[in-house]
Structure 1
């Protein structure tokens, strides 16, 4: 009789435990952050572990942020190229995105009006998909002259204003023109250079992530 009573109590306790396990909330999935860019994003000339998305994800995790950063960089891509492949990039269903395009537009001296239109279309599409956006600005090569440089810079400022998104003024801030932080080509950052980029951009990235509802 005692044995039956013990078994009955054990089954009741097991059932209660199973109920608690089953109704416990599942762990929230990490926030997905899309890094849409060019060779500066993809990590040209660097080991995979030193690329911008990888270092950014590590820095965010060190801050206690559960974030997955998707590397959507393509070497040589212009703003038009980024727009053309945006549907493919959205397949990862990001909640947030950093748009870091335009360096190759500047290197090729492309029309700044087209740069502005492409960036605007990219951000409009991201916002239409419910994605929170941070726009990373770029500077035109100085050899193209001050007038082009001003128009180039203004493209980012105008798009950020029109679309109501935050603008990080210069993606290569603290790294550009510093030989110690760039590869031999003088255009692409070293791993240490990427670390500087991540460190300087991190506060704005955290503000971007704070816009996502838990």
Structure 2
């Protein structure tokens, strides 16, 4: 709280002090302390309250094959597993809205959003996109531009509140049998660049970036973390992602 004191011209300091009753001089410091106390109370009451557990949480997940859960049953998709984890924690989470499709690039996700026309009514929005831009060898500047646009759209779907949005890194599919046959290290290095771009853009909006890429690399030594198509994550892998996301998501929901 800032105080503005206006100087009042006086003839002499001594005469001015004599004109002020002694009781007023004693009250003035107490008055200042009272104002400061009230100001601190006001600031504390302005802090955001946790999400009302009786109020439904509406969650929108934007992405590609990873978000739609290619090659795993619907309940094992990571957005659905995330919702289940929140329900176990006592939150009332509605059925997850997912706008994602296998093979989508950033531009195709934008088109999919345009066709779906989601409402700006969500309490939580996630964005995971870019692997197909990398796979097709698209210009990085295209990804940079379209990812930023998608993130701005995600904020819009969260009622314009960026604090309801989080970004997820692109998993390293280079460790899968499919990826190993196409240049494991090259894929890894290229995806690191994509993730760095996404992380940088997210940080400019002060939006959290959940890095699940290191976890995705565990699949190199554990085939159970890879789906039967030998490319996409298994439900077990998605469970590990969710454990990584939960602290961030709980914090997001506690600030609403």
Partner of residue 252, structure 2 = 208
1:109 Cα offset (Å): 2.1
> How large is the Cα RMSD of the aligned pairs?
2.5
Runs of 4+ aligned residues of structure 1 deviating over 4 Å after TM superposition are 139-143
Q: Deviations over 1:102-138 (max 9, x none)?
A: 1212222222221121111011123244242101111
The answer (yes or no) to whether the contact 1:137–1:170 under 8 Å persists in 2 is: yes
The answer (yes or no) to whether the contact 1:41–1:51 under 8 Å persists in 2 is: yes
Alignment partner of 2:144 out of 79, 97, 116: 116
1:170 aligns with 2:202: no
Bigger mean CA offset, 65-74 vs 192-201: 65-74
TM-score norm. by structure 2 comes to 0.64
Alignment partner of 1:97 out of 125, 140, 144: 125
| Residues 211/73 of structure 1: CA separation in 2 closer, same or farther (3 Å cut) | farther
Partner of residue 39, structure 2 = none
User: Unaligned stretches of 5+ in structure 1?
Assistant: 1-26
User: SS of the residue aligned with 1:31?
Assistant: coil
User: SS of the residue aligned with 1:123?
Assistant: helix
TM-score norm. by structure 1 comes to 0.75
- Give distance in 2, aligned partners of 1:113 and 1:139: 20
Q: Deviations over 1:64-111 (max 9, x none)?
A: 122223222211111111222334252373122010111212222222
Q: Deviations over 1:152-191 (max 9, x none)?
A: 2321122112222111123673454342210133321112
Which is richer in strand?
1
1:194 aligns with 2:238: yes
- Give distance in 2, aligned partners of 1:153 and 1:126: 18
| Residues 172/54 of structure 1: CA separation in 2 closer, same or farther (3 Å cut) | farther
The answer (yes or no) to whether the contact 2:169–2:212 under 8 Å persists in 1 is: yes
1:76 aligns with 2:77: no
Partner of residue 138, structure 1 = 170
Number of residues paired by the alignment?
186
| Residues 210/75 of structure 1: CA separation in 2 closer, same or farther (3 Å cut) | same
